[in-house]
Structure 1
């Protein structure tokens, strides 16, 4: 076990409301942050990103620091989420990938065969490649002080879906086909992705992140049986490097979130996390009944951000009420902030949540 005595989690952020909630304690106010709070809904972000490609921005420590801090300054949220993209570790490992505006991540060469996977497995994510990530986290934690930084990574299945499909897909059929038609190739691919994801998360936490969240954006397309057999072991392996760390007297809180994963909540918790994120489809009291004793995060419907304030406020109150069924609750959206969201709505919502 590693011990990192000067890490924020051993001092500055140990008693932060978010960390206390992640550890199962109710605090003086409802801790809140928003998925995708750092980025596209903020005019200051759009101004800063002008002329810079997304993945280039993600590898510039100064840009990452400023973008990550923008919503903390503006909204007064209880945590920063590391500004990155799920395909950043692939880029760092030398995989040809770019983010095409209006489409999303696109691979130079889709990974479809045993030879494709064997070529991937010759790559690894070394400390030198991770240096800009570590540098950005170190800069951020100096600026954030007592506000925790949450580390971020895409889960192996979601990364595999992009790799096999070659880009975005509605049903991830090619990835699900490989799972069954080429199970050994699938296992090799997922094993490599678990190693890369684990290294990416571990670098963020060692550099100063106080928690880590694994996003499995596309796991909801899977049956429960397929998730347990073909995906869960690799999510568990990806989280292991963080779960093995000790920061003073603390373990590092871990969060798992997926979209459309109401049928997978217990299986997602069983990969070994402290907190389960819930999307807008599943009421938090129902999630709490399925996950007794587990801290929950969520789950304001992002569509409500465009509603009139009384409608949004009533919906948020319903979320708070349902969240009381869990031992602790971190307020968030049931997915990311839509790009067209008025930032003033998020600022107003944060202030209202803190008063409840």
Structure 2
């Protein structure tokens, strides 16, 4: 397959000059879009939507039909991997994801094994292939996975958590068990991302949503080291083109230099990190992605545009910036504000390059 006609996103990730700053949004296919809600209603529930390659393709393309975005991201969920490991994923109404069999017993942890992505996760791989065909080389397709540590949080807790008591008890009392979980999960994530790349993903992102809850020492030992292991095992080329890797640790701004050193091509920033300072800290080592506060989209089109210009001006006229939010877009976002955001990024970044 040939390179996308709009390859601005890929060039920005490789810190090459671009005519403007490319944009995509974390969770860009989601409940803020009425067309997504209609497709999800037809699917019956969220998990059924994820497990239908045809419907996953449909919702992946919806934001691209509405906004001039520079990349598509596979519609799926990070918890498909532990579900494929046999933990029994389900979604309780109003309560978010849960696992029927969280990892609490040593025998269950020792029995854990990495699933074959071409078997247990075939529906995701089929969705990647179908989306890539549907895009018809218009824009690049991003694949993704949760980080080993973030997946382990859900696998041990059995759901989201405010304090990660079970996970952190294991981390301090039985670090050997947590390392075993992380090792198996790192192997699973590596195989999963490689299968996505083989099916057509042209860039991949590792979502380390909960790494920022750790101490600096624990972050390096239990999160960063395993992301580095995943990256080292990835197939970084497709059709003769490099497949860039983005690492996003929410709350990880204090470890920016450490993240930039693990072999990734870009580091995602949440909204609590100053992007100008981040660029000064990493220089030309990696591209940076981010980092508008998702809540800024609750404002007016004028205030959204002002905040977007603030981020772009802070980064300046330098290669290596992908515009994104500092976390996923909220379901309560007005789509008109997304229109204002994407149009402002496109026009203002062009003006910065000219000026």
For 1:73 and 1:240, locate their aligned partners in 2 and report how far apart those are by CA, in whole Å. 35
Q: Is the 8 A contact 1:82 1:152 kept in 2?
A: yes
* Residue equivalent to 1:239: 231
For 1:126 and 1:81, locate their aligned partners in 2 and report how far apart those are by CA, in whole Å. 18
- Tell me, yes or no, if structure 1 residue 273 matches structure 2 residue 264: yes
Q: Secondary structure at the match of 2:307?
A: helix
For 1:203 and 1:92, locate their aligned partners in 2 and report how far apart those are by CA, in whole Å. 14
* Residue equivalent to 2:31: 40
For 1:238 and 1:103, locate their aligned partners in 2 and report how far apart those are by CA, in whole Å. 30
For 1:270 and 1:115, locate their aligned partners in 2 and report how far apart those are by CA, in whole Å. 36
Runs of 4+ in 1 over 3 A off after TM superposition: none
Q: Secondary structure at the match of 1:152?
A: strand
> CA 1:104–1:279 in structure 2 vs 1: closer, same or farther (change >3 Å)?
same
1:226 to 209, 218, 222: 218
- Tell me, yes or no, if structure 1 residue 260 matches structure 2 residue 251: yes
- Tell me, yes or no, if structure 1 residue 21 matches structure 2 residue 20: no
Q: Is the 8 A contact 1:55 1:88 kept in 2?
A: no
Gaps of 5+ in 1: 1-5
- Tell me by how many angstroms 1:166 deviates: 1.3
- Tell me by how many angstroms 1:171 deviates: 2.2
Q: Secondary structure at the match of 1:209?
A: coil
* Residue equivalent to 1:31: 22
For 1:301 and 1:197, locate their aligned partners in 2 and report how far apart those are by CA, in whole Å. 28
- Tell me by how many angstroms 1:326 deviates: 5.6
Deviations 1:277-335 (A, max 9, x none): 00000110111122221210000111110112222212111100112276410000011
For 1:186 and 1:349, locate their aligned partners in 2 and report how far apart those are by CA, in whole Å. 41
What RMSD, in angstroms, separates the aligned Cα atoms of the two structures?
1.6
Deviations 1:148-167 (A, max 9, x none): 01001111111111111111
For 1:134 and 1:163, locate their aligned partners in 2 and report how far apart those are by CA, in whole Å. 22
Q: Is the 8 A contact 2:73 2:141 kept in 1?
A: yes
* Residue equivalent to 2:163: 171
* Residue equivalent to 2:141: 149
1:212 to 199, 204, 207: 204
Normalization by structure 2: what TM-score? 0.93
Q: Is the 8 A contact 1:149 1:211 kept in 2?
A: yes
2:62 to 70, 75, 87: 70
- Tell me, yes or no, if structure 1 residue 283 matches structure 2 residue 274: yes
For 2:297 and 2:226, locate their aligned partners in 1 and report how far apart those are by CA, in whole Å. 35
Query: Which aligned pairs between 1:113-192 and structure 2 lie closer than 5 A?
Result: 113-121=105-113, 124-144=115-135, 145-192=137-184
Q: Is the 8 A contact 1:137 1:204 kept in 2?
A: yes
- Tell me by how many angstroms 1:231 deviates: 1.9
Q: Secondary structure at the match of 2:291?
A: strand
Q: Is the 8 A contact 1:18 1:78 kept in 2?
A: yes
Q: Is the 8 A contact 2:76 2:124 kept in 1?
A: no
- Tell me by how many angstroms 1:246 deviates: 2.2
Q: Secondary structure at the match of 2:204?
A: strand
- Tell me, yes or no, if structure 1 residue 91 matches structure 2 residue 106: no
Deviations 1:238-267 (A, max 9, x none): 23332x332243321000112111112222
- Tell me by how many angstroms 1:196 deviates: 1.3
For 2:157 and 2:105, locate their aligned partners in 1 and report how far apart those are by CA, in whole Å. 12
For 2:157 and 2:117, locate their aligned partners in 1 and report how far apart those are by CA, in whole Å. 26
For 1:170 and 1:306, locate their aligned partners in 2 and report how far apart those are by CA, in whole Å. 25
* Residue equivalent to 2:352: none
